[in-house]
Amino acid sequence: MNYSDTYRFLFVLWDGGGTIPPALALVRRVLAAGHSVRVLGPLSIEKKVKSLGADFSPTIHAPVCDPGKADTEKKGRSPAAVAMAACDEYARDVEETIASFPVDIVVADYLLTGVYAAAEAAGIPCVSLVPSVYPLPLPGLPPFGSGFSPAIGIFGQIRDTVVNFVYQRVWNMNLKGLNRTRTRLGLPPVRSMKDQMLRAGRILVLTSSDFDFPAQLPAHAVYCGPQQDEPGQAAPWQSPWGEKQEEQPLILVSLSTTYQEQEDLIQRILDAVDGLPVHVLATLGHAISPERFHAPSNSRLVPFAPHGQILPHTALVITHGGHGTVLKALSYGVPVLVLPMGRDQGDIAARVERLGAGKKVSKKADPLEIRSAVTAILDDPGFRKAAAAIAEKMTQKNEPARAVVEMEALIRESKEGQTQ
């Protein structure tokens, strides 16, 4: 039986800052392949979605979080924890949306387990998007969120087993809520949040297989490379140093557009580079004012700058370890200095160090320690060579092109299964 090559996609997203750019880059790819896309998400992303040419439906029941506001992290629970706990809210939003707009496939951030359940109840194939490294427990992989390197010997294996057990207990705090939703939808309960996540028809891991630690993923989990787009509204970047730009190395400081109380760390970085023979461009996001900092004469502070235009001229990126920022830097062959502030950032830093493409320093490091790490990377060409090698491997594999292919294949498999 032949099927139309044009399909209807529903993307269900929450605004976790770094979760949005790769998802919207994938939306752009799906649209370019000739499919139609509706995005169900918070109003904070409506303008971005419509600028791509996709349709938009606002979430009604799901909790609202604006990660760009300075009070977001001070309400007792992280945005990720809030999104993960809202199983029934997201399920109801999906139910109401597909009742008005029938779709062939549902694509959701991996934390939104209620979306998986709603799609399963409706008989619609579901894709899980992982916007970072692979997060579920596997032999050989250190626990997600731990910042560990791969285990060595029996004691390392015991470490991973214990930490994974603790982490899964934390994740399963939402299991009762998920199973109440599944019962309401006429579905049997699952034993864990992990089991629900693994029920997706595809798990698309939006990082490079050459960046992540080596492991045998489940058969339906696929590395699809970092999905990266430069914001369409970005004006051409003009260096504040004009023709003198190339006279000294450029350091890009990028510590997330999501507010994580990073003011003190930014100031210590600025103090660390004070007096070095470098140019420093620090992006602050829109929640932090440049007036809060004492910036040395070799530094410029801006709310935002188009990384794709700056990285070809950059010698080093100093970052909190956001997956998007790090992979973007490495894709241009630029080494990174990572100061993890939480979440999966320690995991990203561990992988950077394994590859020799940069260094990790504590977020509590003083300016002298940060300065030492900066000069070590700038003075050792081995870091840049390692970053360039990763960039070449990512280019050769072209994994991002696989994402749309995998989703189309899942739709065809589902339609063929319905006719048998």
The stretches of 46-187 forming alpha helices (DSSP H) are 46-52, 79-85, 87-100, 113-122, 153-171, 175-184
What is the architecture of the domain spanning 242-379? Answer: 3-Layer(aba) Sandwich (3.40)
Domain regions of the chain by residue span: 8-229+397-419, 242-379
- Three-state DSSP class for 252? strand
Q: Are 270 and 299 in contact (CB under 8 A)?
A: yes
User: Which residues, including other chains, have CB under 8 Å from residue 269's CB and lie 6 or more apart?
Assistant: 253, 255, 282, 318, 339, 367, 370
pLDDT at 87: 96
The CA–CA distances, whole Å, from 78 to 65, 71, 258, 285 equal 10, 11, 11, 19
The CA–CA distances, whole Å, from 16 to 68, 107, 111 equal 9, 16, 11
- Residue that the structure tokens 């705090």 belong to: 173
**What's the burial of 6, exposed, middle or buried (CB within 10 Å: 0-12/13-18/19+)?**
exposed
**Of 7, 22, 13, the residue nearest 326 (C-alpha):** 22
How much is the pTM?
0.92
**Of 258, 259, 241, the residue nearest 250 (C-alpha):** 241
- How many of the other CB atoms lie within 10 Å of CB of 396? 9
User: Which residues, including other chains, have CB under 8 Å from residue 17's CB and lie 6 or more apart?
Assistant: 67, 68, 79, 256, 257, 258, 322
pLDDT at 388: 98
**What's the burial of 360, exposed, middle or buried (CB within 10 Å: 0-12/13-18/19+)?**
buried
Question: Which strands form 105-109's sheet, in the order they lie side by side?
Answer: 55-58, 36-41, 8-12, 105-109, 126-130, 202-205, 221-223
The CA–CA distances, whole Å, from 182 to 78, 115, 361 equal 25, 11, 44
Question: Which strands form 336-338's sheet, in the order they lie side by side?
Answer: 299-302, 279-283, 250-254, 316-319, 336-338, 358-360
What residues form DSSP beta bridges with 11? 39, 107
Q: What string of pLDDT tens digits covers the 420 residues of the chain?
A: 344 579 999 999 998 878 999 999 999 999 999 999 999 999 999 999 999 999 999 999 999 866 655 444 445 567 888 899 999 999 999 999 999 999 999 999 999 999 999 999 999 999 999 999 999 999 889 999 999 999 999 999 999 999 999 999 999 999 999 999 999 999 999 999 999 999 999 999 999 999 999 999 999 999 999 998 755 555 677 788 877 767 799 999 998 667 677 889 999 999 999 999 999 999 987 778 888 899 999 999 988 888 888 999 999 999 999 999 999 999 999 999 999 998 899 999 999 999 999 999 999 999 999 999 999 999 999 999 999 999 999 999 989 999 999 999 999 999 887 766
Q: What share of the chain is helix, strand, coil (3-state, %, to 5)?
A: 45, 15, 40
Same fold for the domain at 8-229+397-419 and the one at 242-379? Answer: yes
- 8-229+397-419 homologous superfamily: Glycogen Phosphorylase B; (3.40.50.2000)
Element (H, E) at 140: none
Give me Rg for the CA atoms of the chain. Answer: 22
Q: Where are the beta strands (DSSP E) in 189-231?
A: 202-205, 221-223
**What's the burial of 73, exposed, middle or buried (CB within 10 Å: 0-12/13-18/19+)?**
middle
> 122 is written with which tokens?
């409706």
